[in-house]
Structure 1
C-alpha cells in the first residue's frame, strides 16, 4: 500500500488532497501545525500528525511517526499582501521560512529513505502568480518562484535515484484560507503613498468574475503529479492557472 505525507492539511488544498488520496486507496499522513482529526473524514486510511515545517525537531518526529513515505506533498504555506517598503523584514523572513525553507527541510528529511528504496515522488505546491508578476505580491511571489527553480534543479539531481519531482501551481482560490491569512498579514504593510495603488488592485480583484481555482482542482493536479510518471514536471491547477500558463 502506498503512503503519502501531505503538509498543511488543516484546510484548503491540503485538506482536499488528503481526502482525495484516501478515497482512492492511499494511506495518508495528514500533517498540520495543530493536530486536529475533526477536519478530516473519519477513516482508517488517514493519520493526522502535528508538524511545523519551520521546526527541525517537529519534522524529525513527524517523519519517524509516518514510517516509509512513497510521496511527499509540500503544501504548507502562508500568504502575504503588501508593499515591499511597508513589509517588515521579520515578516518576509517568516514567509520564506515556511514557504521556501520549510519545503526544503521537509524534502531533505524524506530523501534518504526514497534514495535507498530507489523510488519516490516529491510534489511542491507553489502558485500561478509566478507565471506573471503582480504588485503587492512581490515577496510572496519570490518565495514561491524560488521553490519552482529549486525543484527544476533538484529534479536533475534525483532522477538517477528514481525520484520524481513535480510542481503544482494553483490559480486564485477564494474558497481557501490563504487569502484571509494573507490579508491579516497585510495590516500595516501598505504605506500611505501606496494606498491609491492598493485600492485599484483590490477593486480589480473584487470585481473579477473570471474563472477561479477550487481546492478540488489542486487535489486532482497533485493526484496527476503523483500517479502519472509521464506527466509534465510543472502542472497548473485550475482554469485560471491553465490560462496563465498558456499565455506565458
Structure 2
C-alpha cells in the first residue's frame, strides 16, 4: 500500500527537495505552504496534493490534515519543515520578533503534532519528523533566539518519542547543517534589520566571515531530503538524524569529546578577536 507524507514549508529549500525525494520513491505527498504555488514542482502527479497550511493557524492545520486524509486515506508521516531564520544580538531583539520566531519554529511544530497525533493513534502507526538545525548541537553566536526556538523542539521531540511509542508512533529529528543555497537569509532579511547594533559590528563581521569559509562542505538540500526519508522509513529506534558534514562534525565534537574540548573548539571558531 502506498504511504503518504504531509510536509510543511514546501515552497522552496529543504521542504521542496524533500517532497520531490518522497515522490520519486513512490510515496503520496501532501505538499503544504502558506500560499500554494502549483508551479513550484516541475512535474505534477496524481500522488502530489498541494495545499495551503499556515503553522500559526490551528484551523489551517486541521483543514490541511483533513484534506490530506480525504485525498489519500491516511497520513503515515508528518514532516515539520516550515521555519524562519534570524541572526541578531539578543539585547536588540524585540519581543515581537522573539514571539514571531517561536510562533512558527516552535509553537507551529507543537500545533501540527497535536493535530496529527489522534489520526495516527487511530490508525495505530505513524512517524513525526521535526526538522531542527545543527545549531541545536553546536550553537554559534548571534542566533540565540533562533537556536532557542529549535532547541525547544529537540526536547519536545525526544519526550514525545517516549510518550507515543506505545501507540506505534515514532517521533524523530532531522538536524540540517548550514546551507547557503536555501532561502534562510533572504526570508529572514527584513526582520533582521537593525538587530545587530554597531557595537557588535566587528564581531558580527568576523563570525560571518568564518561562516563563509566553512571548515566542511556546506549541507545540501539533497542530504536533508535523504535524512528525512531515512527518518520516515527506519524501523530502528534512532531519534536524531544529522544531515550534512558540518552537523556530523559538530555531533562528534559535542558527544564524543569532553566539554572542555568542545568549548575550546567553538571558542576558537567564534570567540572574539
Q: Per the shorter chain, which TM-score range?
A: over 0.9
Instruction: Note the residue ranges of structure 1 that are not aligned, 5 or more in a row.
Output: none
**Among 183, 195, 215, which residue is 1:189 paired with?**
195
Q: Is the 8 A contact 1:225 1:231 kept in 2?
A: no
Distance in 1 (CA, whole Å) between partners of 2:138 and 2:216 is 17
Number of equivalences: 248
CA deviations 1:150-179 (Å, max 9, x no partner) are 001111110000000110000011111112
Matched with 1:94 is 100
Query: Segments of 4+ in structure 1 off by > 3 A?
Result: none
Q: Does 1:227 align with 2:228?
A: no
Rounded Cα–Cα distance in structure 1 between residues aligned with 2:247 and 2:191:
24
Q: How far off is 1:182 after superposition?
A: 2.7
Which residue of structure 2 aligns with residue 140 of structure 1?
146
Aligned equivalent of 1:60: 62
State the Cα distance separating 1:193 from its structure 2 match: 1.5
Q: Is the 8 A contact 1:81 1:185 kept in 2?
A: no
**Which residue is equivalent to 2:21?**
20
SS at match of 2:119: helix
Alignment of 1:107 with 2:113, yes or no, is: yes
CA distance in 1, matches of 2:197, 2:155: 31
Alpha-carbon distance in structure 2 between the residues aligned to 1:37 and 1:229: 33
Contact 2:17 2:222 (C-alpha < 8 Å) held by counterparts: yes
Deviation at 1:186, TM superposition (A): 1.5
**1 CA distance for matches of 2:227 and 2:184?**
18
Matches of 1:182 and 1:171, distance apart in 2? 17
The whole-number CA distance in structure 1 between the counterparts of 2:154 and 2:34 is: 24
Any conservation in 1 of the 2:216–2:245 contact (CA below 8 Å)? no
Work out whether residues 85 and 191 of structure 1, in 8 Å CA contact, stay in contact via their aligned partners in 2: no
2:53 aligns to what? 51
Structure 2's unaligned 5+ residue stretches are 255-273
Cα root mean square deviation, aligned: 1.1
